[in-house]
Structure 1
Amino acid sequence: MKLFNFVGMAMLCLSFTSIRAQDLKDLRAKPDTIISVQKEQPLNIKTIRPVVPKLNLEVDYWKHWTKFGINLNQASFNDNWKGGGVGSIAVGLNANHKSDYTRDNFNFVTEVDLRYGKIKNTNNIAKKNNDRIFWDNKLSYKLSANWALFTSVTFESQFDAGYKYKTVNGKDTIDYIENAFMAPAYLTESFGLEYKPSNEFSLRFGTGTARQTFILDERVKPRSGEGFFQKYGYYRDPNNPTVGTGERFGVKEDRSFANALAFQLTGNLDKNFTDKLNVKARYNLFADYEKISDPTHRLDVTVTAKVTRVINVNLNGIMIYDPDVISRVQLSQSLAMGIVYSLPK
């Protein structure tokens, strides 16, 4: 009886397990069966326009540099001083501005150099010791890395009258006038090739160059013997009324203008050897095609040593050979300490 009951219970459990497994098998979802179906909802997307500020960005192709300064020098001695010497005071003013425009292969450079100085020794007339107006403009088109076609216009003159002095009865007096503002003045147009291997050095070959010389001050204008008499009421040489002043600065007698065609060579150097030492030089050769064997030379050199941010020591040297003025070399040198202000700093 007990055995029968045990067998019955076992068969019942097996039957229940089989039914349970069959139910679970029926409920199992197939892999491709869609269990849930949802309706697509339309997307509600709003267009947003962000506010972008206007920057107004522009490319500046210009660069500018400006320097101006003053140099002072003074010495004085009282009546008891036995060491020798002459009291003096000297003042020098200078200003330089350079602008550079570079865009693609085009380059335009304009540079102005202005200098004026005077010195006054005790019991003497005040005399200028520096005087120059220089304005150079150059437009070039780059042909290669180092070569370009260029055209330039340059103006040169001075601010004040320059005199020749003599001593009369122990006093310093004016003998005659040598030059003045716009007497002479030079306007030079040039066209040719420029060699510029770096921003520190350039060399211009002006194969087509024209220069106009102006003498617009009546006191400096060259005059013939008759022209001198009409101006001053007497002959320059009473024994020979035909004697005049001769040519001045390449301008013939009784004229105030001269034009010359020439070959011009111009070299420019502006190099910082250290952060406190700068050398700036300009050499110009002007060979008139009518007098090409005797060209004009001019070399300007300025060495600037920076002592502080605003105090500099300047050594200036000028060498000129101009057969239209004098057939000998002219030399000028000056050394000065002064205050120089630069923009940008």
Structure 2
Amino acid sequence: MKRLPVLFLVLFSAAAAAQPSAPDTLEAADGWLRDLTLQFAGSQAQYSNWQEGGIDAVAFSARSEGIFYRVSGGLRQAHEVRLALGLLKQDTLGFRKSDDIARYAYGLEVETGGPFRPSLSLAARTQFIAGYDYSPEAGEYPDLPRETEGRVKVADAFAPLVLSQSAGVVYDPGAGFTARVGLGLKETYVGIERLRAIYGNSPDEAFRVQAGLDSELRYRREIVENVTLSSRLMAFQAFNQLGNQAPDILFENRLTMNVNSFLNVTLDAAALYDRDVTEDVQLRQSLAVGLAFSLL
């Protein structure tokens, strides 16, 4: 990550949250195009005198995703919301979260009649409930208290909260692909003082503001019938870290398979690199099979 070429930093550094893009054929006469879904998934296992062994377990999750598009007065608007919360319990352990996502993104583009459009984007990324490291290494988090069974709280509701704003140009050739590049701001808010150092903030710094290069690559396509791939690559290169630190990079992929009108399967995978938090690449993966309902 430290040896990324300058061309990559300039062309592919993208914000920590993405700008949604409208469908290829969207027109003013269409009004608002809305897509809001709700998904529930769960699993349960219980054993009693089962000779082959096993542990009791219960897990459930809820997800909601919404996308709202409109063209009016020569402007394209897009709102995107993504919420997810999952909990699991195994054997004698208490409930632990398995998924926790709260995202919002707003995009505004000026119609030009061509594939290049001036754009403005705003975004927020956070979580709903507290998060814990259940097996911290010796000496890790020296300033944070150990709780039950040695766990350490490393996050809480809206701590951290990552905000971004950017202005630039969107390239939209159609066929499900868009690219964006521009200048942006990124704010990392951590309201709980003892958690600030984990996310690169100083102890007295609730808000950490960075300015830098900002862009995004996004691809969304139905690869076969009822199977849709959504992929986006995002990063943020702060000006004060240019040349001595790799950009923050977030690479998200989602595969959605619609079995029928109510049953679907969603596979999520994400990789995050943020040197202010850790030198390691953070990975997240989840698989959900459940009931999905279209609300709008």
Bucket of the pairwise TM-score, normalised by the shorter protein: 0.7 to 0.9
Aligned twin of 2:64: 95
CA contact (8 A) 2:219 2:231 kept: yes
The residue that corresponds to 2:52 in the other structure is 83
State the match for 1:297 in structure 2: 249
Which structure has the larger Rg?
A: 1
CA distance, structure 2, for counterparts of residue 212 and residue 186 of structure 1: 6
The aligned counterpart of 1:322 is 274
Distance, in Å, in 1 between the alignment partners of 2:30 and 2:287 is 38
Q: Which residue number in structure 2 is paired with residue 258 of structure 1?
A: 208
- Quote how far apart the aligned CAs of 1:95 are: 0.4
Query: Does structure 1 conserve the Cα–Cα contact (< 8 Å) formed by 2:154 and 2:198?
Result: no
| 2:23 corresponds to | none
Alignment of 1:1-345 (within 5 A): 59=29, 61-78=31-48, 80-103=49-72, 105-166=74-135, 173-198=149-174, 200-206=176-182, 208-220=183-195, 222=196, 247-292=197-242, 293-344=245-296
Cα–Cα, structure 1 residues 288 and 85, in superposed 2: closer, same or farther, change >3 Å?
A: farther
Query: Is the Cα contact below 8 Å between 1:98 and 1:112 reproduced in 2?
Result: yes
Letter in 2 for 1:287: Q
In structure 1, give the amino acid aligned to 2:190.
Answer: I
Gaps of 5+ in 2: 1-27, 137-147
User: CA separation in 2, counterparts of 1:96 and 1:187?
Assistant: 19
SS in 2 for 1:248: helix
Equivalence for 1:33? none
Aligned-pair CA distance for 1:139: 0.4
1:65 partner letter: D
The number of residue pairs the alignment matches comes to 257
Q: How far 1:326 sits from its partner (Å)? A: 0.9
Q: State the match for 1:22 in structure 2.
A: none
Q: Which amino acid aligns with 1:312?
A: N
Deviations 1:82-119 (A, max 9, x none): 32332211111100111101136420101000111111
Counterpart amino acid of 1:210? L
The Cα of 1:142 is off from its aligned counterpart by: 2.8
TM-score by length of 2: 0.81
Which letter maps to 2:80? E
CA contact (8 A) 2:194 2:203 kept: no
Measured on the aligned residues, the alpha-carbon RMSD in Å equals 2.1
4+ runs deviating over 6 angstroms: none
- How far apart, in 1, do the equivalents of 2:171 and 2:295 lie? 28
Query: How much has 1:138 moved relative to structure 2?
Result: 0.6
Cα drift, residue 166 of structure 1: 4.5
Q: CA shift at 1:219, angstroms? A: 4.9
- Classify the secondary structure of the residue corresponding to 1:283: strand
Matched-pair contact (CA < 8 Å) for 1:251–1:258: yes
Q: TM-score, normalised by structure 1?
A: 0.70
- Is contact 1:125–1:173 with CA below 8 Å preserved after alignment? no
Mapped to 2, the partners of 1:126 and 1:218 lie a distance apart of 26
* 2:240 match: secondary structure: helix
Once the two structures are superposed, residues 194-215 of structure 1 have per-residue CA deviations (whole angstroms, 9 ceiling, x without a partner) of: 1111162211112x10011111
Shift of 1:186: 1.0
Structure 1: which amino acid aligns with 2:67? K
What do the CA deviations read for 1:223-269 (whole angstroms, capped 9, x no partner)?
xxxxxxxxxxxxxxxxxxxxxxxx33121122211100011121222
Q: Is the 8 A contact 1:74 1:89 kept in 2?
A: yes
Q: Is the 8 A contact 1:166 1:173 kept in 2?
A: no
State how far apart, in whole Å, the 1-side matches of 2:276 and 2:83 are.
24
Aligned amino acid, residue 187 of structure 1: L
